[in-house]
Amino acid sequence: MTTPTLDEKRAELNRIVALSLKGESTKEDDDLYITYSADIRDAKNAKTAKITELKALIKDNEIVIAELFNHAELKAAGYSKTPKVADEGANEEYPYPSNGNEVLLKFVPQKSGEKPFELKQGRIYEPLNGKGTKPFGQSVRTPLKNYGVSQEKLMEITTPYGKTYFETTEGQAELAAILEVAKVKTKAEA
């Protein structure tokens, strides 16, 4: 008879626990449970001791991981020597052409949890991070949803420059585009 592996002992422990929960375990099962539990605990303690010993050996001999494993081995094990590069645009400011333009709309938070909001001249026509074809590819921010319900309401967060600009032909076209983007569509409309 061959000695069971640790995985086989764990499987047997699970079987014994299931029997015990049903009240069907025998004295032999209980003895086997005690023996296998001790074997698994001893194996875990031996492994922990070996790891501690190896760590000390590595530290004392100034061994680095690249001396133990090559890149292919690390990659096959799910590790990589090179850090992953964040996606373009993640946590960095995209240089929108409108970045230097005047601010048309500005929302200053009045309550805790609200976020400030600014919309610059021309931004409404620019796709998110310069990609895509849809104007204003960004998600519509809450202040724009709340104040963009009508032209009168939008004027509450319009800057002095924005009020002057919206009186021009070009400004009226941009105002219409802003109000169109600000419309919140219900699920039925989408």
16-71 pLDDT tens trace: 999 988 899 899 999 999 999 999 999 999 999 999 999 999 999 988 877 888 87
> How far is residue 33's CA from residue 11's CA, in Å, rounded to a whole number?
11
Between CA 109 and CA 57 the distance in angstroms is 58
Q: Does residue 90 fall inside a structural domain?
A: no
Q: Which two tokens stand for residue 144?
A: 């724009």
Residue 69, pLDDT score: 81
Report the pLDDT value the prediction gives residue 38, as an integer from 0 to 100. 94
Q: Is the pLDDT of residue 91 over 50?
A: no
Say if 110 falls within a structural domain.
Answer: yes
Which two tokens mark 70?
Answer: 């090559």
CA-CA distance, 58 to 79, in Å (whole number)? Answer: 19
Q: What's the confidence (pLDDT) of residue 166?
A: 92
Summarised one tens digit per residue, pLDDT across range 105-130 is 888 888 888 888 888 888 887 776 66
Q: Exposed, middle or buried: residue 129 (CB in 10 Å: 0-12, 13-18, 19+)?
A: middle
Same domain, 45 and 110: no
Q: How far apart are CA 179 and CA 134, in angstroms?
A: 15
Task: Give residue-wise pLDDT tens across range 133-181.
Answer: 555 655 677 888 888 888 999 999 999 999 999 999 999 999 998 888 8
66 and 101 within one domain: no
Percent of the chain that is helix, strand, coil (3-state, to 5): 55, 5, 40
Mean pLDDT of 85-103: 68
Domain count along the chain = 2
- Whole-number pLDDT of residue 57: 93
- From 44, 76, 108, give the residue that closes a domain: 76
In our burial notation (b when 16+ CB lie closer than 10 A, e otherwise), range 79-101 reads: eeeeeeeeeeeeeeeeebebeee
Q: Is residue 62 part of a domain?
A: yes
Token digits of residue 117: 């909001």
> What's the confidence (pLDDT) of residue 92?
56
61 lies in which domain range?
Answer: 6-76
- Is 36 within the bounds of a domain? yes
Residue 85 pLDDT: 56
Same domain? For 108 and 174 the reply is yes
